[in-house]
Amino acid sequence: MVRITEDLIRRRAEHNNCEIFSLEEVSLHQQDIERIEHLDKWCRDLKILYLQNNLIPKIENVGRLKKLEYLNLALNNIEVIEKLEGCESLKKLDLTVNFVGRLSSVESLKHNVHLRELYLVGNPCTEFQGYRQYVLACLPQLQWLDGTAVGRAERIRALQDLDDLRRRVLQQETEYLEKREKQKKKEQIKATVSKPQDLDHEDLNSNFSDEAKENRNQDSNAEYSPEQDRNLALNSHSEEQEREFWEKPCAFTPESRLEAHHYLEEKKTAKERQREPKCKVKAPRTLITAEGKVLNVNEAKLDFNLTDDEDNNCVLLDLHVYRHLDTSLLDVDVQPTYVRVTVKGKVFQLVLPAEVKPDSSTAQRSQTTGYLLLTMPKAHGEIKVKKAVLKTSHVKKSNKNAEEKPKVMIGCKRLEVDPSKTSTVDLANIVPKENCTAQRPLRFSWGLQARGAQEKPISKEFVDDPEVPPLI
Residue 339 has φ and ψ, to the nearest 5°, of: -130, 140
Task: Work out the percent of the chain whose per-residue pLDDT is above 70.
Answer: 71
Lowest mean pLDDT among 152-166, 321-335, 391-405: 391-405
Q: Which run of H or of E encompasses 349?
A: strand 346-351
* pLDDT tens for each residue of 344-369: 989 999 999 999 999 999 999 998 99
d(CA 55, CA 98): 10
387 or 181, which is more confident: 181
- Rounded to an integer, the average pLDDT of 423-429 is 59
**With contact defined as beta carbons under 8 Å apart, do 357 and 337 qualify?**
no
* pLDDT tens for each residue of 281-306: 667 788 889 898 999 999 989 999 99
Say yes or no to pLDDT of 74 above 60: yes
CA 284 from centre of chain? 31
Q: Which run of H or of E encompasses 309?
A: strand 304-309
Beta bridge partners of 25: 48
Confidence of residue 268 (pLDDT cuts 50, 70, 90): confident
**With contact defined as beta carbons under 8 Å apart, do 59 and 82 qualify?**
yes
**With contact defined as beta carbons under 8 Å apart, do 137 and 110 qualify?**
no
216 or 167, which is more confident: 167
* 292 φ/ψ sector (left φ>0, alpha ψ -120 to 50, else beta): left
pLDDT for res 198:
42
Q: Which residues of 306-320 are buried (b: 16+ CB within 10 A; e: fewer)?
A: eeeeeeebbbebbbe
Reported pTM: 0.54
d(CA 384, CA 325): 37
Residue type present at position 399: N
CA triple 254-108-91, angle to 5 deg: 90
Q: Which run of H or of E encompasses 213?
A: helix 210-218
pLDDT for res 450:
45
Lowest mean pLDDT among 89-103, 231-245, 259-273: 231-245
pLDDT for res 265:
87
The 10 Å Cβ neighbour count of residue 274 is 8
Q: Which residues of 363-379 are buried (b: 16+ CB within 10 A; e: fewer)?
A: beeeeeeebbebbbbbe
**With contact defined as beta carbons under 8 Å apart, do 172 and 178 qualify?**
no
* pLDDT tens for each residue of 1-44: 788 999 999 999 888 888 899 999 999 999 999 999 999 999 99
Longest dimension (CA), the chain: 185
